[in-house]
């Protein structure tokens, strides 16, 4: 029996997905996208990847579903354009939402949103940081720049998780939602990074990120661009008495 994944992100069901299960879902979606983008006979761009289009079987293995908006890239084609943007806001990449440009990197952006949602137990479209006016992506970026990435993690997971794995997943999620498509990894790199087989570059600010009174450029030289990575961070874990 298959169930829609996003129902596990509501308040009553979040506790039913432990850290290992969430990590396996994150990894399984990555392998599924890798197949669509590189291993399939045809390169398939999903264009509407979101939690409600991820199904879980009885063993909580993820299955990508609903290919009604999917497009095929032929031959050496790496991207395409459309005058009719269709998809779900909150998951669409900036270049697709604004210019109608889609590629495997637009799916990568959507995947990054799903990763951050699974880690936090919150949905990007519903999240609101009233103090800083951030969506979930901006909130994750702020915690990263303040060197408090573990605060993003769903509170129901904090006592039973692998902190280094969590930080690696947060970093992968942020890398996938970079503003510029060329700054995002492809899915083969994502799979390697999740498995700890690849050094992770440092992310810049995510797409659709707006800070108070600051207009960020894609090639920003702000000090935050030289932040720590999961390869070098030291972690202090506070345990309840």
Q: Give the pLDDT score at 134.
A: 78
Q: Give the pLDDT score at 31.
A: 98
Rounded CA separation 95/149 (Å): 27
Q: How many CB atoms lie within 10 A of CB 120?
A: 24
Residues of the chain with pLDDT under 50: 212-241
The pLDDT > 90 percentage for the chain reads 66
Phi, psi angles (nearest 5°) of residue 80: -150, 170
Mean residue pLDDT across the chain:
85
* CA-based end-to-end distance of the chain: 41
Q: Give the pLDDT score at 217.
A: 40
Q: Give the pLDDT score at 231.
A: 46
Burial 207-219 (b: 16+ CB within 10 A, else e): bbbebeeeeeeee
Could you give the 3-state DSSP secondary structure of residue 12?
A: coil
Per-residue DSSP letters for 29-53? Answer: HHHHHHIIIIISSSEEE-S---GGG
Domain with residues 3-208, CATH architecture? Orthogonal Bundle (1.10)
Taking alpha carbons only, the member of 53, 67, 92 closest to residue 208 is 92
pTM comes to 0.85
Rounded CA separation 42/35 (Å): 10
Token pair recorded at residue 102: 């889609």
Which sequence positions are flagged as catalytic? Answer: 48
């Amino acid at each position: 029996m298959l169930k829609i994944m996003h129902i596990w992100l509501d308040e009553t069901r979040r506790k039913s997905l432990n850290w290992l299960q969430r990590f396996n879902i994150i990894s399984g979606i990555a392998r599924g996208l890798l197949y669509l983008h590189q291993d399939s006979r045809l390169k398939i761009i999903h264009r509407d990847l979101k939690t409600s289009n991820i199904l879980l079987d009885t063993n909580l293995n993820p299955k990508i579903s609903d290919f009604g908006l999917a497009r095929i890239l032929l031959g050496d084609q790496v991207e395409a354009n459309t005058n009719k943007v269709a998809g779900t806001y909150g998951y669409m990449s900036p270049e697709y939402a604004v210019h109608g440009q889609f590629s495997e990197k637009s799916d990568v952006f959507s995947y990054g949103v799903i990763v951050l949602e699974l880690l936090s137990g919150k949905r990007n479209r519903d999240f609101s940081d009233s103090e800083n006016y951030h969506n979930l992506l901006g909130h994750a970026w702020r915690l990263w720049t303040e060197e408090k990435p573990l605060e993003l993690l769903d509170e129901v997971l904090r006592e039973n998780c692998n902190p280094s794995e969590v930080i690696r997943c947060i970093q992968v999620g942020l890398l996938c939602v970079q503003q510029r498509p060329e700054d995002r990894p492809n899915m083969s790199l994502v799979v390697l990074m999740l498995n700890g087989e690849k050094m992770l570059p440092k992310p810049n600010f995510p797409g659709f990120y707006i800070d108070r009174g600051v207009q960020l450029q894609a090639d920003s030289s702000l000090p935050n661009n030289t932040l720590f990575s999961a390869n070098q961070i030291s972690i202090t874990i506070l345990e309840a008495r």
